[in-house]
């Protein structure tokens, strides 16, 4: 059978990936450079029996996807920098209440309104720490139009499997570029649905059983009553001020992500087997980094690239393994910000090698020649 190959914009690929994963609700508020996702979902969702709603602002948009998810739908919202800031309170609510939703952040220059049409990678730390309190988060980082599709499917799978919000952290260049996209046949990519049947009578159902990492989630209206609140709660969902329960539940929702690192964290290793100089890059800069690594290899320099497709949880194990096994001399971290991943790389390196950031706010991808110059410094 001939492949379904289309020439598609990255933001549209996110929408198509969401539909492939079974998303049937979108709640959003338009903001550059993510608006094409909303436009595509507005056109496509009615064709598959789904619902699209434009809310009055980003706060309401995030609330709407939480409500849709509680009613049993796979739900998506998309935004960019300032809108992502507004969604943070409800993102924390979804984390505490263990509500699976997917949030796409097409990163642009900030802070505040910043550079609406200028690409950036400056929301990496906001994705992890933007909402308050200790909480889990998963964030994936595509670097091509194909990955915009595939990683959106994976984001929904992770949200459903682990009952948590998942962020697709992309940038304006990847979101608005046009590339070939192979649309997988139904069943070609795995699609995971949440466990809806508790397997017990309604009176015995505990939505937050603290002896289990992940509890079934019956949709509202299915006969199972459960309380949902942003207050810390007991295993029934009702508020509690018991510090022991608060501690136990907080540790549980964080550990259900940490203990499944091997299932959640995905990376690409490019010429890392014998590398003694490493480049650590995501998104559009990873594309430049690949070109720089190839050019370095042509010059006899043993460079390699570690490209996280999951940036949160941070790929500690993968990075630590390469540093230890290869006796890495130096790591170059190109970022379209003033240094957010670099400190994380330094944390994992623990002084075993030099770590040097390569930062840019110039609204263009960092060039392969700039990365190669940094690689040469360690050669």
Separation between Cα atoms, residue 193 and residue 174, nearest integer Å: 28
Quote helix, strand, coil % in the chain, to nearest 5: 40, 20, 40
Query: What pTM value is reported for the model?
Result: 0.97
> Is residue 82 a contact partner of residue 32, using CB atoms and an 8 Å limit?
no
Separation between Cα atoms, residue 128 and residue 42, nearest integer Å: 29
pLDDT (tens place) for every residue of the chain, 379 residues total: 789 999 999 999 999 999 999 999 999 999 999 999 999 999 999 999 999 999 999 999 999 999 999 999 999 999 999 999 999 999 999 999 999 999 999 999 999 999 888 899 999 999 999 999 999 899 999 999 999 999 999 999 999 999 999 999 999 999 999 999 999 999 999 999 999 999 999 999 999 999 999 999 999 999 998 899 999 999 999 999 999 999 999 999 999 999 999 999 999 999 999 999 999 999 999 999 999 999 999 999 999 999 999 999 999 999 999 999 999 999 999 999 999 999 999 999 999 999 999 999 988 899 999 999 999 999 9
Q: Choose among 348, 88, 128: nearest CA to 254.
A: 128
Q: Kindly tell me the burial class for residue 317, based on how many C-beta atoms sit within 10 Å of its own C-beta (0-12, 13-18, 19 or more).
A: middle
Long-range contact list for 52-55, CB < 8 A, 24+ apart?
A: 52/25, 52/26, 53/25, 53/26, 53/27, 54/28, 54/29, 54/30, 55/27, 55/28, 55/29
How far, in Å, are 21, 83, 155, 275, 377 from residue 11 at the CA level? Answer: 16, 16, 15, 34, 37
Say if strands 102-109 and 277-280 run parallel, antiparallel, or are unpaired. unpaired
Both structure tokens of 257: 């992500």
Instruction: Sketch out the chain's domains with CATH numbers.
Output: 5-182 (3.40.50.970), 202-264 (no CATH), 268-378 (3.40.50.920)
* pLDDT at site 325: 94
185's enclosing H/E stretch is none
Separation between Cα atoms, residue 170 and residue 78, nearest integer Å: 11
* Other C-beta atoms lying within 10 Å of the C-beta of residue 261: 15
Separation between Cα atoms, residue 146 and residue 136, nearest integer Å: 27
Say if strands 138-140 and 310-312 run parallel, antiparallel, or are unpaired. antiparallel
Helix (H) and strand (E) counts in the chain: 13, 15
> Is residue 61 a contact partner of residue 28, using CB atoms and an 8 Å limit?
yes
């Amino acid at each position: 059978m001939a492949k379904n190959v289309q020439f598609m914009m990255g933001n549209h690929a996110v929408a198509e990936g969401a539909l492939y994963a079974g998303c049937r609700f979108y709640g959003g508020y338009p903001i550059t450079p993510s608006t094409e996702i909303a436009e595509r979902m507005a056109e496509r969702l009615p064709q598959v029996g789904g619902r699209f709603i434009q809310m009055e602002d980003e706060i309401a948009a995030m609330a709407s996807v939480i409500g849709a998810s509680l009613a049993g739908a796979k739900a998506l919202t998309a935004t960019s920098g300032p809108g992502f800031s507004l969604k943070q309170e409800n993102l924390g609510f979804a984390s505490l209440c263990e509500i699976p939703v997917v949030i796409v952040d097409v990163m642009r220059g900030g802070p505040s309104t910043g550079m609406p049409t200028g690409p950036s990678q400056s929301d990496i730390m906001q994705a992890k720490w933007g909402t308050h309190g200790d909480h889990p988060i998963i964030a994936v980082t595509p670097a091509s139009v194909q990955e915009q599709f595939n990683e959106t499917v994976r984001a929904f799978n992770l949200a459903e499997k682990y009952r948590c919000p998942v962020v697709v952290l992309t940038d304006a260049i990847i979101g608005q570029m046009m590339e070939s996209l192979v649309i997988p046949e139904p069943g070609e990519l795995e699609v995971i649905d949440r466990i809806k049947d508790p397997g017990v009578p309604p009176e015995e159902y505990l939505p937050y059983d603290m002896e289990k990492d992940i509890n079934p989630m019956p949709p509202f209206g299915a006969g199972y009553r459960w309380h949902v609140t942003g207050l810390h709660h007991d295993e029934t969902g009702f508020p509690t001020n018991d510090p022991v329960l608060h501690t136990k539940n907080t540790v549980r929702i964080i550990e259900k992500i940490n203990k499944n690192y091997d299932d959640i964290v995905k990376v690409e290793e490019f010429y890392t087997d014998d590398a003694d100089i490493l480049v650590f890059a995501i998104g559009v800069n990873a594309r430049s980094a690949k070109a720089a690594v190839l050019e370095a290899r042509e010059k006899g320099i043993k460079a390699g690239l570690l490209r996280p497709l999951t940036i949160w949880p941070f790929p500690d194990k993968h990075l630590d393994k390469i540093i230890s096994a290869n006796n890495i001399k130096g790591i170059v971290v190109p970022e379209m910000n003033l240094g957010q991943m670099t400190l994380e790389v330094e944390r994992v390196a623990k002084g075993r090698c030099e770590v040097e950031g390569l930062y840019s706010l110039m609204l263009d991808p960092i060039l392969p020649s700039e990365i190669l110059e940094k690689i040469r410094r360690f050669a």
